[in-house]
Amino acid sequence: ATTIPAKAVSAAEQLRDRAVTDQTAYKVVESLTTEVGPRVAGSPNDERGRAWAVAKFKELGFDKVYTEKVTYPLWERRSEHGAIVSPYPQPLTLTALGYSAGTPKGGLTADVVGFADLDALKAADAATIKGKIVYVSTHMQRQKDGHDYGMGSATRTLGAVLAAQKGAAAYLLRSAGTDAHSRTPHTGVTGFRDEKQAIPAAALSLPDADQLERVLASGKPVTLKLDLDVGFNGTYTGANVIGEITGRKHPDQVVAIGGHLDSWDLGTGAIDDGAGVAIAMAAAKLIKDMPQRPDRTIRVIAFANEEMGLWGGRAYADQHAKDVAKHQLGTESDFGSGKIWRMTASVKPEARGAIEQIAKVIEPLGVAYDATKPGGGGSDLSQMHGKGMAALSLTQDGTDYFDYHHTANDTLDKIDPKDLAQNVAVYAVFSYMAAQANGDFGSAPNAFANDGARD
C-alpha cells in the first residue's frame, strides 16, 4: 500500500502552519488583477496575462517555466445594449454570452416569449418561438456547494442551443447568479460551438429580469431591442503557462495543480480564477522554500481559455495523455477563494491510507474527508482525470461565489486573504505529501472511467 513517511508528515504539518499566515497568494492575485486585469481568452490582455504568468513563476523562483500552445475559436465582445421597446420603454442591463452571435447592425427588435425555466422551454412548441426573443428565468439559491449552478449553467448553455434549434431570433436568460439586488449580469459560455449554430444570446441582471418578468406578467405584448456587437472572429492560439518545482528523486513524476489564467472580461478575474492560479503558485512556492526539493515534481498549470469550454484543460489532456501514469495526483482550484471544507478522492484502493494521512494533516484547517465520494480534479484537470489521473476534489465554500461569478464584481476586494491562505495550506500539504509518498495513487490509462466524478 502507498504510505507517506512520518518525516514527510511532520514536514507537511510545518508547511501547513507556515502557509496559513503566508501572504504570497494574496500578493499574486493582487498583482494579476491590478497589473493585468480582465483577460478574456484571445484578447490583448490574455497575452499580457501569459507574460505576467511567465514572469511571476520566475520571480517566485520556480525551477522550470514553459508554455504549451492552445488553439481555439476567437470570440469577441465589442459593445452590448438592450431595452424594452414596448409597452414601457426603458433600458435593460445585460451582457452577451460567450459564442453569442451579434445582432444585425442597428439592432434586433422582436417580441418576447417567456419561460419559467429550462424545462418549460424544452416542452415548448417551436411554432410559438420562431422569430421571437426567448426569455428563460432561473432560480438559483446561495449554497455552500453551489449546486444550483448545475441548473443555472444548463439554462445558459443548453437553453441558448434549444432556442436556436426552435427558430428563436435571440436568447435571453435571467443570469445564473445569486445577487438578487445587483445590476451586474453574469456572462458565461453558451452551448454554441460555431458561427452557423449561434444566435444572439445574453443574460439580464437579476433586477432587470425582475423588471422584464413584471412587464411580461402584465399580459401585454412585450417587445425588446437587442444590440450586441459581438461574435466569432477566426482562430487564436494562446497557451497554458506551466511552472515546476523539480522533483529531487523522480523529476518525471508530477503532482499537478493549477487554476485557469483566462477570465471573463467584465470583472478582473479575481475569484474566477486569479485565486486558483495564486493558490497553486503559492503552494508550490512554499514547497520550494523547504530545505530541499520534494521527491517528485510539483507542476503548476495556469490554463488557457477555461471559460469558453475547457480549451486549455483539453489541450493539456491531449498533450499529456501518454504521461498519465506519471501524474502522481492532481486537482485544480476554480471555485473562488472561500475556505476548503471537504476533500474527496479518486485513487486506487491501496492509496486510501495515504489519503487518510493527508486528511489528518488538513483536518485542523477545517477540511473534512468524505471517503464515499469521488475526486474529479477540478475544471481543466477533470480532462486529465478523464484520461486516468488520480485526483482530488477540494470543495470550497461557495456561498457567495455566485454573487460575483462572471460579473463586473469579480474583483480583488472579494478575496479574504485568510481564506485564501487556508486554501494554500491545503494545496501545499497535499501536494507535498503526494510528492513524498512511497508509491503511487493509481494513475493509469482510463483508471477512473466510472468513478462518477463530475468536475
Q: Nearer Cβ to a copy of itself, position 134 or 408?
A: 408
Figure out which of the listed residues 27, 183, 193, 348 binds a copy of itself, where binding follows CB under 8 A: 183
**H or E element at residue 67:** strand 64-86
b or e along 79-103 (b: 16 or more beta carbons within 10 Å of the residue's beta carbon)?
ebbbbbbeeeeeebbbbbbbbbbbb
Residue 370: count of CB within 10 angstroms of its CB: 13
Q: Which of the choices Zn ion, a copy of itself, none does residue 273 contact, using the CB cut-off of 5 to 8 A by kind? A: Zn ion
Closest contact distance (angstroms) between CB of 85 and a copy of itself is 12
Size of the site for a copy of itself (CB under 8 A): 33
Q: Nearer Cβ to a copy of itself, position 41 or 359?
A: 41
Count the helix, strand and coil residues of the chain and give each as a percent rounded to the nearest 5. Answer: 35, 25, 40
The yes or no reply on residue 66 touching a copy of itself (CB under 8 A) is: no
Q: Which of the choices Zn ion, a copy of itself, none does residue 414 contact, using the CB cut-off of 5 to 8 A by kind? A: a copy of itself
Q: How far is CA 72 from CA 68, 119, 227, 307, in A?
A: 13, 31, 26, 12
- Residues 358-362: contacts with CB within 8 Å, 24+ apart? 358/4, 358/12, 358/429, 358/430, 358/433, 358/434, 360/9, 361/9, 361/12, 361/13, 361/16, 361/429, 361/433, 362/16, 362/425, 362/426, 362/429, 362/430
Q: Nearer Cβ to Zn ion, position 179 or 334?
A: 334
9 half-sphere exposure, CB direction, 13 A CA radius: 14
Figure out which of the listed residues 334, 410, 440, 455 binds Zn ion, where binding follows CB under 5 A: 334
Q: Which of the choices Zn ion, a copy of itself, none does residue 388 contact, using the CB cut-off of 5 to 8 A by kind? A: none
Q: Nearer Cβ to Zn ion, position 208 or 334?
A: 334
Peptide bond into 229 cis (omega under 30): no
Q: Nearer Cβ to Zn ion, position 242 or 266?
A: 266
Closest contact distance (angstroms) between CB of 437 and Zn ion is 29
Nearest to 274 by CA among 24, 25, 22: 25
| Residues sharing a CB contact under 8 Å with residue 328, sequence separation 6 or more, in sequence order | 253, 254, 255, 296, 390, 434, 435, 437, 440, 441, 443
Residues pairing with 288 in the sheet: none
Residue with cell 493549477: 258
Distance of CA 430 to the CA centre of its chain: 21
Near a copy of itself in 199-218, by CB under 8 A: 206-207, 210-211, 214-215
Q: Nearer Cβ to a copy of itself, position 182 or 436?
A: 182
Site string for a copy of itself, 76-115 (x = CB under 8 A): -----------xxxxx-x----------------------
Q: Nearer Cβ to Zn ion, position 102 or 267?
A: 267
Closest contact distance (angstroms) between CB of 416 and a copy of itself is 12
Residue 54, φ and ψ in degrees, nearest 5: -60, -45
Rounded to whole angstroms, the Cα distance separating 3 from 7 reads 12
Closest contact distance (angstroms) between CB of 259 and a copy of itself is 20
Instruction: Mark the segment that binds a copy of itself (CB under 8 A) among 112-120, 164-172, 370-378, 403-411.
Output: 403-411
Q: Nearer Cβ to Zn ion, position 162 or 275?
A: 275
Q: Which of the choices a copy of itself, Zn ion, none does residue 7 contact, using the CB cut-off of 5 to 8 A by kind? A: none
Near a copy of itself in 5-44, by CB under 8 A: 30, 33-38
The yes or no reply on residue 208 touching Zn ion (CB under 5 A) is: no
Q: Nearer Cβ to Zn ion, position 22 or 262?
A: 262
Instruction: Mark the segment that binds a copy of itself (CB under 8 A) among 158-166, 295-303, 356-364, 410-418.
Output: 410-418
Rounded to whole angstroms, the Cα distance separating 15 from 418 reads 16
Residue 393, φ and ψ in degrees, nearest 5: -120, 125
Figure out which of the listed residues 22, 179, 244, 272 binds Zn ion, where binding follows CB under 5 A: 272
Which residues contribute to the site for a copy of itself (CB under 8 A)?
30, 33-38, 45, 87-91, 93, 180-184, 206-207, 210-211, 214-215, 267-268, 408-409, 411-414
